[in-house]
């Protein structure tokens, strides 16, 4: 029997067509080489804030010169296959396919429509097994099988397949068809973007007994629902809002990403483009369907201040009730993110939970707040809750309409302090339109175009009054 190449040549076809058809025939004959986790020699994962991660997976592969079909098993189940990049040897990627149709009993039946199967039944009284052959006709709304001259719906017994359909995979698999320049063993780097990996920062702060300093610890909480495990991965985190239209960072695997370092140190931080990059100083395993935490930072002696705040929005028709409502002050902690303040490092977005020990040295949770990405040199402000012992009532003592676009009003706020120590509270009034304070019991600070603020000293177990009159023009 003449070969395909001889028959093509005899037909006097163009040389280019002969070459292309010969390559196609060779491609069809190329056996698939499984490249599983046992061939993995390096792993690096860079996780972003937007449920996005860059995976760099290095595996050792035996290449034959010419066409090879490489099945990378146990890639992420949420891989973005259009972002895959294979490098590390003199080869060209011809085609790639992501097989995410995973092997399950339901999928096996669905892909087996039209296939011959065996149905094995066991006699409940004798235990004798009988075997019949049939053809799966449908799996829609139930199993339909033709057995001999009859059609059965959901036949009793076990359905036995001779083999697994080639389009089903036990694990998520990326199949790459490559053309290698030479035979040999090579370490290939497969890089890709994937969903299913996310991280957030969580902070734990403990106030000192006098509430002047706090100890701040930061943790990174990782969540993996991508469908695979990343073993001994060099982990990096990117803090910042990355535009997903462009590739976030270089996809090449760096040699230093798999070098271990002492585990007790927190994550190393560096600036990357307009973001901040945090690198774990040791490899870590991120298992599938796992949430884990790694240390981010630790700082003792962070100088902190406490503020009691009353914030109101003043309107034309407010506070006309007979009985003024009593409100509690919001308690706020604030600290400078600076070396002088005891910190001075970029803080990724996350929740800060604050604790304080009681008189018996038992730690009590006192509140939490979320911070945004906070650069070095900025001030962190945490609103932790309502102060039980600091209250205020406000009433409108006068109102006068001057025109269709102008009015005046007078207010009186009484602030009460049930604590045994004197305090200072911030009264913040948000005013509409163009405004001017006409009279006041103490001087205000104009914070911006719509905000007036007063610092009111309140004696221990006592009260203080703030009165002012404002004119508003729209």
Q: Give the 3-state secondary structure of the chain.
A: CCCHHHHHHHCCCCHHHHHHHHHHHHHHHCCEEEECHHHEEEEEEEEECCCEEEEEEEEEEEECCEEEEEEEECCCCCECHHHCEEECCCEEEEEEEEECCECCHHHHHHHCCCCEEEEEEECCCCCCEEEEEEEEEECCCCCEEEECCEEEECCCCEEECCCCCCCCECCCEEEEEEEECCCEEEEEEEEEEECCEEEEEEEEEEECCCCCEEEEEEEEEEEECCCCCEEEEEEEEEECCCCCCCCCCCCCCCHHHHCCCCCCCCCEEEEECCEEEEECCCCEEECCCEEEEEEEEEEEEEECEEEEEEEEECCCCCCCCCCCCEEEEEEEEEEECCCCCCCCCCECCEEEEEEEECCCCCEEEEEEEEECCECCCCEEEEEEEEEEEEEEEEEEEEEEEEECCEEEEEEEEEEEECCCCCEEEEEEEECCCEEEEEEECCCCEEEECCEEEEEEEECCCEEEEEEEEEEEEC
Contact assessment for residue 72 and residue 37, using Cβ atoms and an 8 Å cutoff: no
Exposed/middle/buried for 30, CB within 10 Å: 0-12, 13-18, 19+?
Answer: middle
* CATH number of the domain residue 390 falls in: 2.60.40
Say how many C-beta atoms besides its own lie within 10 A of residue 189's C-beta.
20
Residue 465 lies in a domain: yes
Per-residue pLDDT of the chain (474 residues; tens, 9 = 90+): 444 444 434 443 333 333 333 344 444 557 889 999 999 999 999 999 878 999 999 999 999 999 999 999 999 999 999 999 999 889 999 998 887 666 778 888 888 899 899 999 998 888 899 999 999 999 998 899 999 999 999 999 999 998 887 777 788 899 999 999 999 999 999 999 999 999 999 999 999 999 999 999 999 999 999 999 999 999 999 987 666 544 444 444 433 333 323 223 357 888 777 788 889 889 999 999 999 999 989 999 999 999 999 999 887 766 555 578 899 999 999 999 999 999 998 899 999 999 999 999 999 999 999 999 999 999 999 999 999 999 999 999 999 999 999 999 999 999 999 999 999 999 999 999 999 999 999 999 999 999 999 999 999 999 999 999 999 998
Domain stops at, among 139, 160, 181: 160
The answer to whether 168 and 107 are in contact (CB under 8 A) is: yes
Same domain (yes/no): 125, 25:
no
Whether residue 459 sits in one domain with residue 312: yes
Which of 127, 160, 193 terminates a domain? The answer is: 160
Q: Is residue 50 part of a domain?
A: no
Exposed, middle or buried by CB within 10 Å (0-12, 13-18, 19+), for 356? Answer: middle
Number of domains the chain is built from: 3
**What pLDDT sits at residue 24?**
42
**Does residue 258 lie within any of the structural domains?**
no
Does one domain contain both 324 and 467?
A: yes
CB-CB contact of 419 with 461 (8 Å)? yes
Q: Within a domain: residue 19? A: yes
Whether 155 is in a domain gets the answer: yes
Residue 395: CB atoms within 10 A of its CB come to 16
Are the beta carbons of 87 and 188 closer than 8 angstroms? Answer: yes
Nearest to 450 by CA among 466, 436, 469: 436
The answer to whether residues 15 and 205 touch, using CB atoms and an 8 Å cutoff, is no
State residue 269's pLDDT score.
81
Tokens describing residue 444: 């205000």
How far out from the chain centre does Cα 29 lie?
43
Q: Is residue 384 part of a domain?
A: yes
Query: What are the CB-based long-range contacts (under 8 Å, 24+) for 64-68?
Result: 64/180, 64/183, 65/180, 65/181, 65/182, 65/183, 66/26, 66/30, 66/179, 66/180, 67/23, 67/26, 67/27, 67/30, 67/94, 67/177, 67/178, 67/179, 68/30, 68/33, 68/177, 68/178, 68/179, 68/180
Of 455, 454, 308, 458, give the one whose Cα is nearest residue 385. Answer: 308
| Same domain assignment for residues 6 and 154 | no
Residue 60 lies in a domain: no
* Judgement on whether residues 5 and 119 belong to the same structural domain of the protein: no
423 and 320 housed in the same domain = yes
Confirm whether 401 is domain-assigned. Answer: yes
The pLDDT value given to residue 372: 92
Question: Residues 377, 214, 204, CA angle at the centre, nearest 5°?
Answer: 90
Q: How far apart are CA 455 and CA 309, in angstroms?
A: 9
Q: Do residues 26 and 117 both lie within one domain?
A: no
Same domain, yes or no: 26 and 110 = no
d(CA 221, CA 202): 7
| 158, 119 Cβ separation under 8 angstroms | yes
Give pLDDT, residue 322: 59
* Chain centroid offset of residue 383 CA: 24
Point out the domain boundary residue: 94, 125, 160: 160
Q: Which domain holds residue 143?
A: 105-160
The token duo for 8 is: 């093509």
């Amino acid at each position: 029997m003449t070969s395909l190449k001889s028959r093509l040549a005899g037909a006097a076809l163009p040389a280019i067509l002969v070459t292309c058809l010969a390559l196609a025939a060779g491609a069809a004959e190329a056996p698939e080489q499984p490249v599983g986790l046992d061939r993995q020699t390096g792993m690096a994962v860079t996780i972003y804030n937007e449920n996005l991660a860059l995976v760099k997976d290095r595996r050792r592969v035996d290449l034959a010169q010419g066409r090879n079909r490489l099945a990378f098993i146990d890639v992420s189940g949420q891989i973005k296959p259009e972002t895959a990049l294979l490098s590390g040897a003199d080869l060209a990627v011809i085609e790639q396919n992501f097989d995410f149709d995973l092997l399950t009993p339901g999928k096996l039946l669905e892909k087996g429509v039209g296939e011959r199967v065996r149905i094995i039944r066991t006699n409940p009284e004798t235990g004798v097994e009988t075997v019949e052959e049939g053809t799966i006709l449908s799996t829609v709304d139930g199993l339909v099988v033709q057995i001999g001259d009859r059609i059965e719906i959901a036949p009793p017994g076990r359905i036995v397949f001779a083999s697994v359909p080639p389009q089903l995979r036990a694990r998520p698999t990326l199949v790459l068809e490559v053309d290698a320049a030479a035979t040999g063993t090579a370490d290939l780097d497969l890089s890709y973007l994937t969903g299913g990996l996310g991280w957030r920062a969580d902070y734990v702060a403990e106030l000192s007994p006098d509430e002047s300093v706090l100890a701040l610890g930061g943790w990174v909480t990782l969540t993996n629902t991508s469908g695979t495990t990343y073993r001994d991965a060099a982990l990096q985190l990117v803090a910042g809002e990355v535009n997903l239209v462009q590739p976030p960072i270089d996809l090449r695997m760096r040699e230093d990403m798999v070098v271990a370092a002492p585990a007790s140190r927190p994550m190393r931080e560096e600036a990357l483009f307009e973001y901040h990059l945090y690198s774990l100083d040791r490899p870590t395993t991120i298992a599938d369907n796992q949430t884990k935490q790694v240390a981010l930072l630790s700082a003792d002696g962070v100088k902190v201040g406490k503020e009691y705040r009353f914030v109101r929005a003043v309107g034309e028709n407010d506070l006309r009730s007979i009985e003024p409502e009593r409100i509690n002050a919001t308690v706020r902690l604030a600290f400078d993110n600076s070396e002088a303040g005891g910190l001075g490092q970029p803080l990724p977005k996350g929740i800060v939970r604050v604790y304080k020990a009681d008189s018996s040295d038992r730690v009590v949770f006192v509140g939490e707040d979320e911070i945004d990405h906070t650069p070095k040199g900025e001030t962190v402000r945490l609103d932790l809750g309502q102060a039980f012992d600091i209250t205020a009532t406000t009433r409108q003592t006068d109102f006068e309409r001057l025109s269709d676009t102008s009015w005046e009003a007078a207010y009186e706020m009484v602030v009460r302090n049930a604590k045994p120590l004197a305090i200072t509270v911030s009264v913040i009034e948000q005013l509409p339109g163009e405004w001017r304070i006409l009279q006041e019991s103490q001087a205000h600070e104009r914070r911006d175009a719509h905000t007036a603020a007063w610092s009111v000293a309140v004696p221990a177990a006592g009260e203080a009054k703030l009165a002012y009159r404002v004119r508003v023009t729209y």
